[in-house]
């Protein structure tokens, strides 16, 4: 790959996240040509017709042709579709910050995302992703448990979430995509859990993190419990295909669109539990 300015890009995989990312790359980069490949041939032709004017898009017969014809190849699947569409995804890169190629890679990735993180070397981007998704899954499950506990003790879910956001339990999941429908009105959790990072993908990443931990001797106390929770949710037809925070609905035994919890203000009267 020319270090100064690669012109011929390749992209493998135009799915829910690959498509918007590839569009961002075409719109904002200096690429003169783009080779694309996907197992779904209809997707390739549809993307080629919707590509920005002035950008040459070529359909490859397989992934090998993409590699042969391109200076730089993308096969990444980072965050959710919404972040990809808005161009605000976070990249975790298997490269050192002082690598001579990083400045070029940084400029290209910046056309698609807001934060580019060199993790130190080959393979460490994946290590960062597994660590991130493991922690994210644990936090989402713990937030679901805490919300369920507080609500059953009689606290309004929005009041509880606002309180948690101000103390030591503050976290991104609670404040931005709280698992309880209605707490964060604009989040996928308030829209039937449609979109976002699917629960079966969270199960997969939790298992990959656990396997990696086993390989390097890193002790995970909470891992198996979380894996069991996500696996159970993913195997239930009511939750499979939904955003991973649907694990809350699995926890409380409700269907994804059941919002009755928001009208149940005092499931247990405040004086009935602390006196026993």
The full 3-state SS of 245-257, as one line of letters, equals HHHHHHHHCCCCC
How far is Cα of residue 202 from the mean position of the Cα atoms in its chain? 9
- The whole-number pLDDT of residue 27 equals 82
- How far apart are the C-alpha atoms of 116 and 198, rounded to whole Å? 24
Grouping H, G, I as helix, E, B as strand and the rest as coil, residue 23 is: helix
For 183, phi and psi rounded to 5 degrees?
Answer: -70, -45
- In angstroms, rounded to a whole number, what is the distance separating the alpha carbons of residues 103 and 109? 10
Closest Cα partner for 144 from 244, 237, 231, 227?
244
pLDDT of amino acid 189: 97
Check for a shared fold between 8-122 and 126-271: no
What are the beta bridge partners of residue 93?
118
Question: 126-271 — its CATH code?
Answer: 1.10.1040.10
pLDDT at 271: 42
- 152 is an active site residue: no
Q: Look at residue 267 in the predicted model and tell me its pLDDT.
A: 43
Q: Which of 151, 142, 140, 148 is nearest to 198 (CA)?
A: 140
Beta bridge pairs of residue 135: none
Q: Which CATH number fits domain 8-122: 3.40.50.720, 1.10.1060.10, 3.40.50.11540, 3.40.50.300?
A: 3.40.50.720
pLDDT in tens, the chain (276 residues): 444 567 788 888 887 778 888 888 888 887 778 899 998 889 999 998 888 777 889 999 998 899 898 888 887 555 555 655 565 678 888 899 999 989 988 888 888 777 899 999 888 988 999 999 999 999 999 999 999 999 999 999 999 999 999 999 999 999 999 999 999 999 999 999 998 889 999 999 999 999 999 999 999 999 999 999 999 999 999 999 999 999 999 999 987 765 544 444 444 444 455 544
pLDDT, residue 269, reads: 42
> For the chain, what are the domain ranges?
8-122, 126-271
Q: Compute the distance between CA of residue 246 and CA of residue 109 in angstroms, rounded to an integer.
A: 31
pLDDT, position 270: 44
Helices (H) and strands (E) in the chain, counts: 12, 6
Residue 36, H or E segment: strand 33-37
Which helix (H) or strand (E) segment holds residue 174: the answer is helix 172-176
Catalytic residue among 64, 101, 129, 158: 129
User: What is the secondary structure of 43-112 as a DSSP string?
Assistant: HHHHHHHHSPTT-EEEE-SSHHHHHHH-SEEE----S-HHHHHHT-EEEEESS-TT-TTHHHHHHHHTTT
**Rounded to a whole number, what is the largest CA-CA distance in the chain?**
73
């Amino acid at each position: 790959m020319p270090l100064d300015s690669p012109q011929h890009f390749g992209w493998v995989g135009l799915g829910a996240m690959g498509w918007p990312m590839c569009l961002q790359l075409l719109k904002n980069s200096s690429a003169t040509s783009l080779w694309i490949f996907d197992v779904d041939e209809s997707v390739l032709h549809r993307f080629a017709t919707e590509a920005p004017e002035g950008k040459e898009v070529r359909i490859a017969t397989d992934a090998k042709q993409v590699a042969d014809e391109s200076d730089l190849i993308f096969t990444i699947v980072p965050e959710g579709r919404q972040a990809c569409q808005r161009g605000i995804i976070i990249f975790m890169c298997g490269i050192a910050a002082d690598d001579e190629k990083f400045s070029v890679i940084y400029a290209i990735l910046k056309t698609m995302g807001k934060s580019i993180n060199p993790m130190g070397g080959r393979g460490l981007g994946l290590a960062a992703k597994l660590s991130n998704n493991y922690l994210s899954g644990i936090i989402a499950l713990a937030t679901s448990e805490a919300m369920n506990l507080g609500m059953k003790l009689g606290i309004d879910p929005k009041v509880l979430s606002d309180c948690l956001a101000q103390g030591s339990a503050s976290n991104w999941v609670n404040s931005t995509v709280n698992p309880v429908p209605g707490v964060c009105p604009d989040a996928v959790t308030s829209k039937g859990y449609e979109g976002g990072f699917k629960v079966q993908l969270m199960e997969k990443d939790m298992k990959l993190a656990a396997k990696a931990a086993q390989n390097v001797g890193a002790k995970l106390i909470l891992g198996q419990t979380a894996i069991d929770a996500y696996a159970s949710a993913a195997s239930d037809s009511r939750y499979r295909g939904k955003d991973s925070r649907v694990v809350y609905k699995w926890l409380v035994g409700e269907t994804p669109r059941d919002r009755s919890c928001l009208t149940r203000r005092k499931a247990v009267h405040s004086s009935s539990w602390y006196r026993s």
